[in-house]
Structure 1
């Protein structure tokens, strides 16, 4: 076979191999792109912390990253780009962020904001502080971030200082499932050590804020600490002394009155009462009763 024919055949075989390899490479890339497209289908980008971020730290692009979330599992208010989380000025972290935790508006300040209590409050809510002690504050186990029920014990009327008056003492639920914003001057919700506080600040609606302010003037306000996952409403809103059971009644027994019986008793002669004296005249002796 001529050398020229062999050379032409070799070149053709080489070009064929190159074409096969190129086709396989292209098909592999196309398959990988299809898989990525299928994986991204139904997902959206969400900005999360790339590492743990402490309270008060400034958000920087180096502390953030973007991951894909299923479209139905995206937290409300989640940001889709790092630029969205850092634009407009410096933002500070209000609550510690764990690694891969979504960065949400409620966990960071507005651009140029400060780390203070008002920045951490929910929109439309109020912060109300009331005096506390070891009993009202659940022995110091109420900490920032906990949830509590607010109770008021007061006298609704009755004779003061008597046992009958005690029957008019009631305890009512002023507010349920209320968030504790701060204990004394501590608002960090990562605090763990119990402390007997002199003041506790709660996050309440404007109407609840008015109620608890008035309650402090008319009775004793106390807190009932909720289990961390308990959101059930309180079934009994008011408890009275009678609800405790075993409390004796102080009502007097009514006395029946009959005018006829009273008149007959009044008309009957009243028998004299007193010491008896005997007087003897001659052979006759008479007895006399001396009235008192």
Structure 2
């Protein structure tokens, strides 16, 4: 009897194991038969403004249901296209990351629609010790002399004229994958046309400085700037007090009973700002 129970347990275990093996084999077969499609990916890191050629690309099997929108299946479609942003190795090439067809290579392909690129001369101090790298955002500050106002001399003022300006390139490099500081002599900024005019005027009237800001900080702060007197704690001269209005002196009407000056001698008496006539 005991042998029968043990045999039954063994048979039951074998059946369970066989069923599990059949299920696992079916699952593996279904996974192996999942549909895939070829997706073009970057074989090397591609910097913004670079012209794409076949040596930069490779193909990778991608699950058909998870293909990224805008992906390419044929590397021939990407011949001579221009990368608009930095594309890392193994990353799918998407149409949104490329400049429009017919765009030439270089920095012009990286400039956003409606914007302009403008270069300003900097040094190790103005350029934030080389930490203003492509892809960073900076504020632009100018230190200038105000124009004369009447007899007063123009005051020296420091004021922020532009906020959250994108750095497109430092010197002749537009790559955004480097975090090491680079002390250069020129920085190229992305600006609107109106901001380009402001920056052109600012660099002609004073000294420019770049102020590095947080990448995700999008707040703008409007300031009136600061003058040398305000910096050193000087106070503005008080405004002159207005002149007092003149006091009008009123002559009281003569009484009907008062004798005429032709009959008596009269004397004008001024007392407390009031004119009175005394006759006798």
Instruction: Tell me if 1:172 matches 2:160.
Output: yes
**Aligned residue number for residue 183 of structure 2:** 196
Q: 1:186 aligns with which of 140, 165, 173?
A: 173
TM-score normalised per structure 2: 0.59
- The alpha-carbon deviation at position 123 of structure 1 amounts to 2.1
- Give 3-state SS (helix, strand or coil) of 2:225's partner: strand
Instruction: Tell me if 1:49 matches 2:16.
Output: no
Q: Deviations over 1:93-142 (max 9, x none)?
A: 46552244242346445556553111222222111111212222112221
- Give 3-state SS (helix, strand or coil) of 1:236's partner: coil
- Give 3-state SS (helix, strand or coil) of 1:136's partner: coil
Distance 2:236 2:65 in 1: 67
- Is the Cα–Cα contact under 8 Å of residues 43 and 57 in structure 2 kept in the other structure? no
Instruction: Tell me if 1:220 matches 2:193.
Output: no
**Aligned residue number for residue 79 of structure 1:** 70
Pair 1:99–1:67, CA change in 2 (3 A) = farther
Pair 1:64–1:214, CA change in 2 (3 A) = farther
Question: Which structure 1 segments of 5+ residues have no match?
Answer: 1-23, 259-292
Distance 1:157 1:70 in 2: 66
* Number of corresponding residues: 221
Q: Deviations over 1:39-58 (max 9, x none)?
A: x9xxxx89562644344452
Distance 2:98 2:241 in 1: 73
Instruction: Tell me if 1:63 matches 2:58.
Output: yes
**Aligned residue number for residue 150 of structure 1:** 140
- Is the Cα–Cα contact under 8 Å of residues 71 and 95 in structure 2 kept in the other structure? no
1:111-150 counterparts in 2 under 5 A? 114-150=104-140
Q: CA RMSD in A?
A: 4.5
Distance 2:92 2:114 in 1: 23
Instruction: Tell me if 1:237 matches 2:223.
Output: yes
Distance 2:64 2:142 in 1: 45
- Is the Cα–Cα contact under 8 Å of residues 72 and 94 in structure 2 kept in the other structure? no
Question: Which structure 2 segments of 5+ residues have no match?
Answer: 1-21, 245-280
- Give 3-state SS (helix, strand or coil) of 1:82's partner: coil
- Is the Cα–Cα contact under 8 Å of residues 130 and 200 in structure 1 kept in the other structure? yes
- Is the Cα–Cα contact under 8 Å of residues 118 and 190 in structure 2 kept in the other structure? yes
